[in-house]
A = this chain, B = another copy of it.
């Protein structure tokens, strides 16, 4: 088994069967330069959710050129005081801050948190599968780009995983040690109470 991709590129074709390593490849005869360029990060992105963020994922489902290449990107925009809540990925991630000032950090399996206020141009790495977060602590909006070493690296936000889906409140309470009252309050935030 080779670790390398087994063809020059495999632009994903979502109409074909998908396997554990990604989509089947679009007919190479129909691939053009435009397949390799993603323009979805252009312009302003306005945070308008409960977290005060706007996360634009360029994973292989929206940018199929990443399929099979084991890399992807996302753009993070933060309102003043905005946050990307605690979350994890299947892969590692690197972030570069291009506007504003944020605190970024991760927590290791000894429960040690590593966090720091970043300036424009600073890079921080979040090791594979570790819980991490970003908080806009500046007086202006902030923007960062991240890259992850998977084409579809998953984004599992802890608060929404626990409170925004179909997990029953009594199970959520039991597996978090949170109070019933707080669990219901969280579920109200996400409209699942």
Chosen A-B contacts, 22 in total, with CB atoms closer than 8 Å, are A2-B90, A3-B4, A4-B4, A6-B67, A8-B108, A10-B18, A10-B19, A17-B17, A20-B21, A20-B25, A36-B114, A38-B124, A69-B128, A73-B96, A88-B88, A105-B171, A107-B165, A109-B161, A115-B167, A131-B156, A131-B158, A178-B182
A70 to chain B, nearest CB (A): 4
Shortest CB–CB separation between residue A173 and chain B, in angstroms?
A: 10
Contact with B along A123-150 (1 / 0, CB 8 A): 1111111110101000000000101111
Q: A192: shortest Cβ distance to chain B, in Å? A: 9
Q: Is A30 an interface residue (CB 8 A)?
A: no
Does A34 contact B116, Cβ atoms closer than 8 Å?
yes
Binding site for B on A (CB under 8 A): 1-10, 13, 16-25, 32-34, 36-43, 50-51, 58, 60, 63, 65-73, 83, 85-86, 88-94, 96, 98, 103, 105-116, 118-131, 133, 135, 145, 147-156, 158-162, 164-167, 171, 174-179, 182, 185-186, 189
Q: Is A69 a contact of B159 with CB atoms below 8 Å?
A: no
Contact status of A149 and B98, CB under 8 A, knowing A1-B4, A161-B111: no
Partner of A176, one of B3, B24, B85, B103: B85
A53 to B68, CA, bound (A): 30
Contact B174 A159 (CB under 8 A): no
